[in-house]
Structure 1
């Protein structure tokens, strides 16, 4: 199944039992409309359906109510079942166990109760024989994604960073309360066992990138430095994945950019809440992973670099505040220590600027699929060249790369 077609098992009968279980006044389904929840080029690993239902209520005047759900199903390319199934299983475990644990830590220890995920539901009984994730539709509560190609305003970045700091703080406290995360979350794919996979990813991205980099108006010394740096990426990835027990480690969302969180706005300049979605790549380790992912991809370019240090200071302040709120009894890093930490783990700034930023800036595109993003076919290489030469990307990357070099993040 390579498109967003609705599987036959996703039908009115399946949802009848769910509605009966969750709505005491439910009488019947009048309309059942499944549609793709995400446009082409916005999603790579799952089928995401929006299920819109008009239900009749069992009351004196047979009134009706509209309800909407989001249903996620694995999108499994031929021959790649295991890799992608593992990611879907990881997300299921996040919804079922880990995120409720983080939310419970706030409920037990503090006067605040941040929610990190949409309400997660299950169909009654064992009628569904395939993996699925069924969620409330956050749009019904007024949440929406920002426009990824335009970038986030400062107040939106700060709202997302505050929620991220709350998440990271709880995830550190969870280790104290409940013990270590499982090995797959501690290591993810940043290990010597995944060296072949990492080599392939790095070659598939770096060959077209180094070719296109000649168009970025860089100085000869910068071109040489970046070219040399990319030749060490596999070793740097494996080093990046190691957790230092002397440093603060957190549960990273792992894919923290603006498509993967939704805003509920109070008005044009204030966010009421941020809710995270898409938990397929969790990794316990340096908070630099989520921070660099967010800050290299999602803010408006006019503030991305100019406000970088402000955003780090704001996140650090929120992190320390929420660690204290949760009675975390280990030392939180000072701001100076945290900047040293970011320097140590700066690989992720380059990775996100090189690989994620062009995807963020690319308009919805029919060629944008997991095969073209990760692969090395002629079509995939042509697609990556198109990304790396996209004018919106060139405008940013020709400034970002010298900035990364000047900060010592590429060295």
Structure 2
């Protein structure tokens, strides 16, 4: 029975790194606790996320039992270790082109502590990020606090955020965006060097994902009575330009408001803490592999088209953008930002300029992130044009929530001219 459980765990979860053991952790813990005589007496290592929860990294939960040199009573600490797909040359080869490990290690070691300090200067300071304990450039690993200890959990990605969750998510995001703009103003160039987001001008490694899922979306439209051949033809044309049109949204515009994007801001990249009545009390942002200096259109279109419930996305987006803008401006004012601060109208026009990204996120990222078919949910199935990959991608579009969202959104996109290929 034990062996069967281990087999199931290996099948459903990504394995922990082979180097992650007591001999690796003990020196780190000695440094952290400032006790050279500290000894690890017990270690429990298990996966922190299942397949389908994360496509870009491996998360491992570590429980450490240790004895301080001056004590006979053992203590317990809990950590999360985040690593790359070291056992998958195909996946790691793609992700290395996006500098995901370097980006996130720099974020946790250098940037997030400075952003946290800035937010501490505002009239309403709050915690946005997990505390970094160690960054290991040799193993491309990050060790940070296990937020489960403070009763933070993942929300349900298949349900999406209600209004209360959405407002909390936008408040946290606005504060991150404001603090980043201020940090780059005070230390010019410290953040503009982050230019390897999910879409960028250096690599098109994810092109197969975007183009293949546009094809699957077109196939779905062709068989959907509410959409039909009209939308299928349009989506096959969109496929030809989806990478270029989407990448333009990531290009910083000197005359507009630019700041550091989270780059992958959705339900599973925040940790929630709830009250007794299951009301959201707090949210911590995690996963900073795709940060880039870009327009807020990147994070906002991504968030609204992957993570919020349909009625909020369709009916309340404008008022929520206004709320985001209010928090953004207040935080910039608190931190005495002297650069360009957009008015609400200017922000709305900036988001409209980048609205094609809502199309590509709806067709591609939404399909991946709310996928409920987790059997083959891994990066290889997303990328490779083999039978397993084709079946996996086709299965994504059997998702009823995705189908209903696209039935509603594709006509809206079309009426705005976003499905017309021009240049």
Tell whether the structures are fold-level matches, with TM greater than 0.5. yes
Matched, 1:97 2:107: no
Deviates most, 305-314 or 221-230? 221-230
CA deviation vs aligned residue, 1:66-86 (integer Å, no higher than 9, x gap): 321111121043245444232
Contact 2:63–2:77 at 8 Å: present in 1 too? yes
Question: What's the counterpart of residue 33 of structure 1?
Answer: 44
Alignment of 1:67-146 (within 5 A): 67-76=77-86, 77-79=88-90, 81-85=92-96, 86-107=99-120, 109-122=121-134, 129-146=138-155
User: Partners in 1 of 2:278 and 2:91 — Cα distance?
Assistant: 44
- How far is 1:190 from its partner? 4.4
Q: Could you say if the C-alpha distance between residues 182 and 112 of structure 1 is closer, same or farther in structure 2, counting changes exceeding 3 Å?
A: closer
Q: Could you say if the C-alpha distance between residues 106 and 391 of structure 1 is closer, same or farther in structure 2, counting changes exceeding 3 Å?
A: closer
User: Partners in 2 of 1:368 and 1:294 — Cα distance?
Assistant: 21
User: Partners in 2 of 1:69 and 1:117 — Cα distance?
Assistant: 15
SS of the equivalent of 2:194 reads helix
User: Partners in 2 of 1:230 and 1:146 — Cα distance?
Assistant: 32
SS of the equivalent of 1:67 reads strand
Alignment of 1:170-249 (within 5 A): 170-181=179-190, 185-186=194-195, 188=197, 190-191=199-200, 193-194=202-203, 197=205, 199-216=207-224, 217-218=226-227, 221-249=230-258
TM-score (norm 1): 0.89
User: Partners in 1 of 2:43 and 2:300 — Cα distance?
Assistant: 40
Question: What's the counterpart of residue 352 of structure 1?
Answer: 361
- How far is 1:245 from its partner? 0.8
Matched, 1:55 2:63: no
Give the number of equivalent residue pairs.
405
TM-score (norm 2): 0.86
SS of the equivalent of 2:315 reads coil
Question: What's the counterpart of residue 396 of structure 1?
Answer: 405
User: Partners in 1 of 2:105 and 2:255 — Cα distance?
Assistant: 31
Unaligned runs of 5+ in 1: none
User: Partners in 2 of 1:122 and 1:193 — Cα distance?
Assistant: 29
Deviates most, 27-36 or 261-270? 261-270
Contact 1:187–1:241 at 8 Å: present in 2 too? no
| Residue 16 of structure 1, aligned match among 23, 26, 45 | 26
Unaligned runs of 5+ in 2: 1-9
User: Partners in 1 of 2:61 and 2:361 — Cα distance?
Assistant: 29
- How far is 1:261 from its partner? 0.8
CA deviation vs aligned residue, 1:200-239 (integer Å, no higher than 9, x gap): 4443222222112223321654444444333322331342
SS of the equivalent of 2:254 reads coil
Deviates most, 296-305 or 214-223? 214-223
- How far is 1:183 from its partner? 6.2
Contact 2:161–2:309 at 8 Å: present in 1 too? yes
